[in-house]
């Protein structure tokens, strides 16, 4: 099965990439890695499917060379990856030469294959030593993250073409501190409000360090959902608006306009860190690009009598992925157009993640994933339409290169364009990988 697009349908400098994240693929038992809050979260029964963790993952620590060959041979331009904070600083504060050596080899390997390296500094692996001090709820986290940034950039920054500070602040803050779905698994509005702010302060401090070091092409990666009311009832419209405020407008508003959306801030104000207003100028300092991660739309319903935010997501009628996420490419078009109109103007945008968990056949042989091919095709089509309508989208990266550790879903959900047999660690390119390889070939 082939895509309905090729590279030639995009501007000549448009970049296609494949993305991964350290905790999801490397294997924390390889090399010297400190404990992270994901290790301890996963150790509590009920938090993660089958209580699985990142100890082995895809053993990318030893197999990175072959994995990078796959990115190159798939005809991708960019490899998006992250560094693991507890590998670089096992106790959260002290730099490990062994950890940096690993990323040094990896950086060289990316460049040696003619790929453009796109680094994400934080993709969710907060060192336990810092989590013990409150992690994202502690106002010192900005300083801790700045020091970590310095360590990574000082060693591999010279080879990075693009750097993002943080992946998906909504997940780092709200999902992890209010909804309890990700590490550290809190359900605490005060912790959540603090994390919602401190994650952006950390972004700002990290930007300052990188600007001072002369590092170029810096951004942050936000996740967006197309949130809609579950019915025509006005209360459901309010419910969708609240969700949109927490998920989409909070971060885009702070970064673009230096202000949190008033409707959400008014509910969170009693829990916000004192003097948070003083940080807004730094938070809205210039970035060079914005990363957009998009997967699905969500439908929201008002729940009478429930404490704020009195809404819940309800299932919709569209076809769904194996994770029960509705497939809605129009939402990606809408997000890209809205960003340009309401938030980021002509700032370059990269779709840094998009993809689906599929019901791919078993653990052997060539893997056929026509549903994933159709998903990518439709979403790349939405990007094409957005570009035609004036959105400044400069790249599209598939999530993910490999089947990997899907957080609270353990290894149960497979997002890869390359199948991983977790018993043998054999990699098998799926149909979607072949489709990219063909569409992206340079004639």
Interatomic CA distance for residues 139 and 199, integer angstroms: 10
CB of 430 vs ligand IFM, minimal distance in Å: 16
| Residue 406 C-beta: closest distance to ligand IFM, Å | 5
Cβ at position 174, least distance to ligand IFM in Å: 14
Cβ–Cβ < 8 Å for 219, 285: no
Pair 82, 121: CB distance under 8 Å: yes
Tell me the Cα Rg of the chain: 20
Residue 337 CA to residue 358 CA, distance in Å, equals 28
Determine the Cα–Cα distance for residues 219 and 352; give it in Å rounded to an integer.
Answer: 11
Q: Which of these is catalytic: 52, 225, 326, 353?
A: 353
Task: Give the E-state strand segments of 303-392 in sequence order.
Answer: 311-314, 349-353
Residue 33 or residue 229: which is nearer to ligand IFM going by CB? Answer: 33
Dihedral (Cα; 397, 398, 400, 401), 10-degree rounding: -80
Q: How far is the CB of 62 from ligand IFM (least distance, A)?
A: 21
423 catalytic, yes or no? no
* Minimum CB distance to ligand IFM smaller for 10 or for 178: 178
Cβ closest to ligand IFM, residue 145 vs residue 399:
399
Question: Which CB, 67 or 406, lies closer to ligand IFM?
Answer: 406
Pick the closer one to ligand IFM by CB: 377 or 406.
406
DSSP 8-state assignment for residue 414: B
**Catalytic option among 168, 225, 326, 406:** 168
Least gap, CB of 125 to ligand IFM (angstroms):
11
Quick check: 394 and 406 in contact, CB under 8 A?
Answer: no
Residue 330 annotated in active site: no
- What DSSP designation does 8 have? G
Q: What are the DSSP calls for 167-217, one per residue?
A: E-HHIIIIIHHTS--STT----HHHHHHHHHHHHHHHHHHHHHHHHTT--S
Among residues 131 and 166, whose Cβ is nearest to ligand IFM?
166
Rule CB under 6 A: which residues touch ligand IFM?
21, 24, 168, 293, 353, 399, 406, 415
Q: How far apart are alpha carbons 168 and 407 in whole angstroms?
A: 14
- Shortest gap between Cβ of 266 and ligand IFM (angstroms)? 29
Kind of pairing, strands 162-167 and 116-122?
parallel
Cβ nearer to ligand IFM, comparing 168 with 236: 168
Pick left, alpha or beta for residue 442 (phi over 0 → left; psi -120 to 50 → alpha; otherwise beta).
Answer: beta
Q: Is 322 exposed, middle or buried (0-12, 13-18, 19+ CB in 10 A)?
A: middle
Q: What count of other Cβ atoms lies within 10 Å of the Cβ of residue 238?
A: 17
State the catalytic residues: 168, 353
């Amino acid at each position: 099965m082939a895509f309905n697009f090729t590279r030639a349908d995009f501007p000549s400098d448009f970049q296609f990439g494949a993305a991964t994240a350290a905790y999801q693929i490397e294997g924390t038992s390889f090399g010297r890695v400190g404990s992270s809050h994901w290790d301890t979260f996963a150790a509590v029964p009920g938090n993660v499917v089958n209580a699985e963790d990142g100890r082995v993952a895809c053993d990318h620590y030893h197999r990175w060379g072959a994995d990078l060959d796959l990115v190159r041979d798939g005809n991708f331009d960019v490899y998006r990856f992250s560094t693991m904070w507890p590998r670089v600083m096992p106790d959260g504060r002290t730099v490990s030469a062994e950890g940096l050596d690993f990323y040094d080899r990896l950086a060289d390997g990316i460049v040696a294959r003619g790929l453009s390296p796109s680094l994400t500094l934080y993709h969710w692996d907060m060192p336990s030593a810092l989590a013990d001090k409150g992690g994202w709820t502690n106002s010192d986290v900005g300083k801790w993250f700045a020091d970590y940034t310095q360590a990574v950039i000082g060693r591999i920054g010279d080879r990075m073409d693009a750097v993002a500070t943080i992946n998906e602040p909504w997940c780092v803050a709200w999902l992890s501190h209010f909804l309890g779905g990700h590490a550290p698994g809190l359900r605490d509005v005060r912790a959540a409000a603090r994390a919602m702010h401190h994650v952006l302060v950390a972004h700002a401090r990290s930007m300052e360090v990188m600007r001072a070091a002369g590092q170029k092409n810096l951004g942050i990666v936000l996740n967006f959902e197309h949130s809609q009311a579950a019915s025509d009832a006005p209360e459901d419209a309010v419910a969708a608006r609240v969700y949109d405020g927490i998920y989409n407008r909070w971060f885009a508003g702070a970064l673009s306009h230096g202000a949190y959306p008033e409707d959400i801030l008014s509910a969170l104000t009693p829990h916000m860190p004192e003097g948070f207003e003083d940080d807004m100028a730094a938070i809205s300092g210039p970035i060079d690009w914005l990363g957009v991660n998009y997967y699905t739309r969500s439908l929201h319903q008002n729940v009478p009598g429930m404490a704020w935010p009195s809404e819940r997501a309800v299932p919709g009628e569209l076809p769904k992925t194996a994770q029960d996420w509705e497939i809605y490419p129009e939402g990606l078009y809408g997000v890209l157009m809205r960003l340009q109109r309401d938030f980021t103007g002509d700032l370059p945008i990269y779709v840094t993640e998009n993809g689906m968990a599929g019901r791919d056949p078993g653990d052997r042989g060539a893997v056929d994933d026509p549903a994933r091919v159709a998903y990518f095709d439709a979403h790349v089509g939405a990007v094409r339409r957005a570009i035609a309508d004036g959105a400044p989208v400069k790249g599209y990266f598939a999530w993910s290169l490999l089947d990997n550790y899907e957080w609270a879903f353990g290894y149960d959900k497979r997002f890869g364009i390359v199948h991983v047999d977790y018993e043998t660690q054999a990699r098998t390119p799926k149909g979607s990988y072949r489709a990219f390889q063909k569409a992206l070939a340079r004639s």
